[in-house]
Amino acid sequence: MYKLRIVFVMVLWGSIGVFTRFIAISPILLAFLRASIALPVIIIYGLATRSLSLKNASFKDVFPFILSGIIMGFSWLTLFIGFASTDIAASIIAFNMCPVYVLLLAPLLLKERLRAHHIVTVILAFAGLFLIVYSSLDVSKSRISGLLFAIASGVLYAFFVIVNRKATKCLTNTTVTTLQMGSASIVILPFVLFGNLFADIGSIDTRALVMLLVLGIVHTGIAYLLYFPVYTKLNAVLISILGYIEPASGMAFAALLLGEALTLFHIAGGLLILGSTLFCVVYENRKSKAGLIQELP
pLDDT at 45: 95
Query: What are the structural domain ranges in the chain?
Result: 2-96+141-157+168-260
pLDDT at 237: 62
In whole angstroms, how far apart are CA 124 and each of 100, 131, 251, 262?
10, 11, 20, 20
pLDDT at 32: 97
DSSP letters spanning 183-212 = HHHHHHHHHHHHTTGGGGGGG--HHHHHHH
The terminus-to-terminus CA distance of the chain in angstroms comes to 26
pLDDT in tens, the chain (297 residues): 777 888 899 999 999 999 999 998 999 999 999 999 999 999 999 999 999 998 888 888 999 999 999 999 999 999 999 999 888 888 888 898 888 888 888 888 877 777 888 888 888 888 988 888 777 665 556 678 888 999 999 999 999 989 988 887 789 989 999 999 999 999 999 999 999 999 888 889 999 999 999 999 999 999 999 988 776 676 666 676 778 888 888 888 988 888 887 778 878 888 888 888 888 777 777 766 554 333 332
Contacts of 193 (CB under 8 A, 6+ apart): none
pLDDT at 178: 95
pLDDT at 192: 96
142 burial (CB, 10 Å; 0-12 / 13-18 / 19+) is: exposed
d(Cα 192, Cα 7) in Å, to the nearest integer? 33
Q: How many CB atoms lie within 10 A of CB 138?
A: 7
Ordered alpha helix ranges (H), the chain: 2-14, 16-21, 27-49, 59-85, 88-95, 98-109, 116-135, 141-166, 173-194, 206-214, 223-231, 236-242, 245-257, 264-289
Q: Would you say 56 and 195 are in contact if contact means Cβ atoms under 8 Å apart?
A: no
DSSP character for 170? Answer: -
Q: Would you say 255 and 20 are in contact if contact means Cβ atoms under 8 Å apart?
A: no
